[in-house]
Amino acid sequence: MNNKKDLAIAYRIYPGVSKTPPVFHDDKYKLSELCLYSFKKALGDLNVKVFVLLDNCPDNYIDLFKKYFTAEELEIIRYNGIGNAATFSEQIRILEEQNYSEYIYFAEDDYFYLDNGIEKIHRFIVNNNDVSFVSTYYHSDYDTMSLHKEFKSQYLNFEGINFKSVCSTTLTFLTTKTFLSETKNVFLTYLKKNTDAGIWLSLTGHKVKNPLNIIKYLFTNKLWFKILLKSWIFTGKQIFFGKKRNLYVPEISLSTHMDSKCLAPGLDWKKIFSDVQEKIFK
């Protein structure tokens, strides 16, 4: 029996509401179902294995995943409130140890996807061996923050989608077991309170190598000062001796973080959410 899959996924979820979501800000279960429904649709025809990391979730969250995935597709793993950084560490361990697929996806519970979005970035990375990481999410910061705007992006067009290299993203992304094995020690610095942005900047090599940038941000942007300083403290080996990696996103986003302040630009998310809610919550 062939157990090989197109994609292995570690999907972490907890019953609390983070940030301020644009819908269901006081109902995490409905928000979770909205996102999970879109996640399933985003997979398209991919043959997947889904490791579900339930962190302090009640039993009805198990039922939610069983509603959208078969028993053969699912593996449920329960944790007793270990928290954000620890569940990310578990995602790394699980995806590195599994043998279902070379292609792996880190998923968080507060992302909404467009149909076939993950299938599209999966095809992109499969057909572009020099791509290290790819995300469905085009963050609004790419167009508004000087640190991102100063990054020298490369562009790839694949199947009519314009992909752009960026310097950082969140902790929801697609890569390979090979790339994860080579970079996992950098990602594991998240357990030491490194930031996701600092991790990505050390991998993409943007702004972190020159100490003058840290000094500049000390006087101009305290947030980025802290991010760059932590990146130096926790990932200095990667910054000065590690291989640079690339990270691509579609210029027209295929998903959005469910944070009202960080919705992906250029799409009518209010209408999109409303249309999907009508299908799910009739």
Where residue 181 falls (left for φ over 0; alpha for ψ -120 to 50; beta otherwise) is: alpha
Please say if the pLDDT value at position 154 is more than 80.
yes
CA distance 271 to 157: 28
pTM of the complete model: 0.97
Q: Is the pLDDT reported for residue 123 higher than 80?
A: yes
Residue 113's H or E segment, with its range, is: strand 111-113
Alpha-carbon gap, residue 60 to 96, rounded angstroms: 28
Query: pLDDT at residue 1 above 60?
Result: no
Write the DSSP symbol of residue 137: B
**Burial profile 88-115: b = 16 or more Cβ within 10 angstroms, e = fewer:** bbbbbebbeebebbbbbbbbbbbbbbbe
Domain spans of the chain, in order of start:
7-280
How confident is residue 3, by pLDDT bands cut at 50, 70 and 90?
confident
pLDDT at 8 over 90: yes
Sheet holding 161-165, edge to edge: 74-79, 48-55, 7-13, 103-108, 173-176, 133-134, 247-250, 161-165, 155-158
The average pLDDT across 233-245 equals: 97
pLDDT-derived band at 37 (thresholds 50, 70, 90) equals very high
> What span, in angstroms and rounded, lies between the C-alpha atoms of 134 and 122?
8
Average pLDDT over residues 76-86: 98
- The residues pairing with 52 across neighbouring beta strands, listed in sequence order, are 11, 76
The mean per-residue pLDDT over the stretch 24-41 comes to: 98
Structure confidence at residue 28 (pLDDT): 98
Residue 2 above 70 pLDDT? Answer: no
244 pLDDT higher than 50: yes
Say how many CA atoms lie within 13 Å of 52 toward its Cβ. Answer: 26
Helix 222-241 / helix 196-204 crossing angle, nearest 10 deg: 40
Lowest mean pLDDT among 73-87, 91-105, 207-221: 207-221
3-state secondary structure of 257: strand
If pLDDT is split at 50, 70 and 90, which confidence band does 249 have?
Answer: very high
All residues at 6 or more sequence positions from 3 whose CB lies less than 8 Å from its CB, including other chains: 99, 100
With bands split at pLDDT 50, 70 and 90, how would you rate the model's confidence at 246? very high
Overall fold of domain 7-280: Spore Coat Polysaccharide Biosynthesis Protein SpsA; Chain A (3.90.550)
Question: CA 140, CA 253: separation in Å to the nearest integer?
Answer: 10
The rounded mean pLDDT for the chain is 97
CB atoms inside a 10 Å sphere around CB 273: 20
pLDDT above 50: residue 176: yes
257 forms beta bridges with 111
Q: Give the pLDDT confidence of 51-71 residue by residue, as tens digits.
A: 999 999 999 999 999 999 999
Confidence at residue 282, expressed as pLDDT on a 0 to 100 scale: 78
> What angle, rounded to 10 degrees, do the helices at 117-126 and 28-42 form?
50
